């Protein structure tokens, strides 16, 4: 391990500088063109072949030349719209307020250190860097256009990579993410679960008339949307606490002009919960509220459902294995374990089929998805996770991969790839409800 640690010490300053530059130049999902060039430049400089996947994603492998497990290092590199952030992209308000720029820093520095140290000559199998685009589920009209043009099949980077077989030869998945806990109290979060979600768009179609001269002749689509939101809010008392339900929405279109009865309004929302069953049950309740609002005002209604992400369930055996290495770098009371987060991520989809960990890391200040989010401690945000993941890989691939094979053999997937893709297809639908004559 001494060689890879020395390589990390030499590599981290330049990769941290690159990552902080990415932070200052954010790009939304499937638009990470300049960010991608920065990552590829480092791969090329180190003589590491790579290939393009999922429109803007990157895959590269380091092979020991000996049979063994393939360990996937997953990093994301897209930003999220955040008004008021000092580094926000003026075109679309993209800002790195979820910490993906630091994921790149951790996993790329680790990957390059493995290459430069020739670590794999003493191990078996492969290590594969998987730079995944489009984790933040936003900017959906752009993504749907890419799908219409045949450039994508799915609106999430990992969904696309699953569908196109990018992960087929990976045995174990390692990832990290800025955590949502008190980072003064905790320096790592392990074994956390996350909600899954369905994304919905509800479009209410009314009838435009002059708002001052003839409002009674119109059908007010804004009133229908308001009633639907009220109905959803009244439903909240039926949400069980143990299901960790969140239903939240924005009004993308509230009308066309103040002087005209709104002929069309649009709500976009997430229905989140801890389990797939709870998501589907809550989704049915939300649909009833949407239909009730449309029926009361006599609007046409279109409900567009897009499958979001599955709940994240981290593999317990892999979690405990990584934990042994994390504890070499921090005290046990600095490690939070078994928490549940109400947010969602497409690592949840991965966790349905592969042994997966996503370690929550500290070293940031401000609010996730807030205008004040930034790196506060490079040691915790970059260096510490890079070192314990290096130790983890050594442990997984030593002794002919015995530890990795044991974890994989004990893993019980929730679904097959075929089941997964079939479920995505079934959840992706549009339903229209017509008004009364």
Question: Reduced to 3 states, what is the DSSP secondary structure of residue 368?
Answer: coil
Residue 373 in domain: yes
Q: Are residues 46 and 67 in the same domain?
A: yes
Query: Residue 284 sits in which domain range?
Result: 196-309
Which one, of 199, 200, 178, 173, lies nearest residue 189 by Cα? 178
Q: Please, are residues 108 and 60 in contact by the beta-carbon 8 Å criterion? A: no
CB atoms within 10 A of CB 436: 5
For the sheet with 429-433, list strands across it.
246-253, 264-273, 196-205, 300-307, 429-433
Q: Which residues contact 45 (CB under 8 A, 6 or more apart)?
A: none
Phi and psi, residue 114, nearest 5°: -60, -40
pLDDT at site 1: 81
pLDDT at site 265: 98
Residue 437 in domain: no
Q: Give the pLDDT confidence of 305-352 residue by residue, as tens digits.
A: 999 999 999 999 999 999 999 999 999 999 999 999 999 999 999 999
For the chain, how many structural domains are there in total?
A: 2
What pTM does this model have? 0.95
Q: Give the pLDDT confidence of 149-172 residue by residue, as tens digits.
A: 999 999 999 999 999 999 999 999
Give the integer Cα–Cα distance in Å for 86 and 368: 15
Instruction: Give yes or no for residue 437 having a pLDDT over 90.
Output: no
Residue 435 in domain: no
Q: Which residues of 285-318 are buried (b: 16+ CB within 10 A; e: fewer)?
A: bbbebbbbbbbebebbbbbbbbbbbbbbbbbebb
Q: Give the pLDDT confidence of 206-262 residue by residue, as tens digits.
A: 999 999 999 999 999 999 999 999 999 999 999 999 999 999 999 999 999 999 999
Q: Are residues 201 and 101 in the same domain?
A: no
Residue 430 in domain: no
pLDDT at site 436: 85
Q: Please, are residues 60 and 182 in contact by the beta-carbon 8 Å criterion? A: no
Q: Please, are residues 341 and 193 in contact by the beta-carbon 8 Å criterion? A: yes
CATH number at residue 397: 3.40.630.10
Q: Are residues 201 and 331 in the same domain?
A: no
Strands of 19-116, DSSP E: 51-53, 57-63, 70-76, 80-81, 94-95
Q: Are residues 369 and 284 in the same domain?
A: no
Residue 427 in domain: no
Instruction: Give yes or no for residue 114 having a pLDDT over 80.
Output: yes
CATH number at residue 215: 3.30.70.360
Query: Containing H/E element for 175?
Result: strand 172-178
Residue 354 in domain: yes
Give the integer Cα–Cα distance in Å for 80 and 172: 28
Q: Please, are residues 249 and 211 in contact by the beta-carbon 8 Å criterion? A: no
Residue 188 in domain: yes
């Amino acid at each position: 391990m001494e060689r890879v640690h020395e390589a990390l010490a030499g590599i981290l300053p330049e990769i941290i500088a690159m990552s902080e530059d990415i932070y200052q130049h954010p790009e939304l999902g499937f638009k990470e063109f300049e960010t991608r060039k920065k990552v590829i430049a480092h791969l090329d400089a180190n003589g590491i072949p790579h290939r393009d996947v999922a429109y803007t994603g990157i895959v590269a492998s380091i092979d020991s030349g000996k049979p063994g497990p393939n360990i996937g290092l997953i990093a994301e590199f897209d930003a999220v719209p955040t008004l008021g952030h000092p580094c926000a992209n003026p075109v679309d308000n993209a800002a790195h307020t979820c910490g993906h720029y630091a994921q790149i820093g951790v996993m790329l520095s680790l990957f390059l250190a493995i290459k430069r140290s020739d670590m794999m000559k003493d191990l078996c199998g492969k290590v594969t860097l998987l730079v995944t685009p489009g984790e933040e589920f936003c900017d959906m009209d752009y993504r749907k256009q890419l799908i219409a043009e045949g450039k994508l099949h799915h609106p999430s980077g990992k969904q696309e990579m699953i569908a196109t077989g990018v992960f087929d030869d990976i045995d174990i998945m390692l990832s990290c993410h800025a955590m949502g806990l008190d980072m003064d109290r905790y320096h790592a979060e392990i074994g956390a679960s996350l909600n899954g979600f369905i994304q919905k768009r509800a479009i209410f179609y009314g009838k435009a008339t002059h708002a001052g001269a003839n409002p009674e002749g119109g059908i007010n689509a804004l009133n229908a949307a308001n009633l639907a939101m009220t109905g959803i809010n009244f439903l909240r008392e039926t949400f069980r606490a143990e299901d960790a339900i969140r239903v939240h929405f924005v009004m993308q279109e509230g009308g066309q002009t103040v002087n005209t009865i709104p002929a069309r309004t649009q709500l976009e929302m997430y229905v989140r919960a801890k389990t797939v069953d709870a998501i589907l049950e809550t989704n049915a309740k939300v649909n009833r509220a949407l239909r009730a609002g449309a029926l009361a005002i006599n609007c046409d209604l279109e409900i567009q459902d897009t499958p979001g992400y599955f709940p994240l369930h981290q593999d317990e055996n892999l979690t405990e294995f990584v934990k042994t290495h994390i504890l070499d770098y921090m005290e046990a009371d600095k490690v939070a374990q078994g928490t549940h987060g109400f947010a969602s991520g497409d690592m949840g989809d991965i966790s349905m089929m592969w042994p997966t960990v996503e370690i929550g890391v500290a070293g940031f200040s401000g609010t996730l998805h807030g205008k004040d989010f930034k790196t506060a401690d490079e040691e915790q945000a970059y260096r510490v996770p890079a070192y314990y993941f290096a130790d983890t890989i050594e442990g997984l691939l030593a002794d002919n991969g015995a530890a990795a094979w044991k974890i994989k053999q004990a893993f019980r997937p929730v679904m097959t790839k075929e089941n997964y893709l079939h479920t995505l297809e079934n959840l992706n639908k549009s339903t229209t409800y017509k008004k009364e004559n």
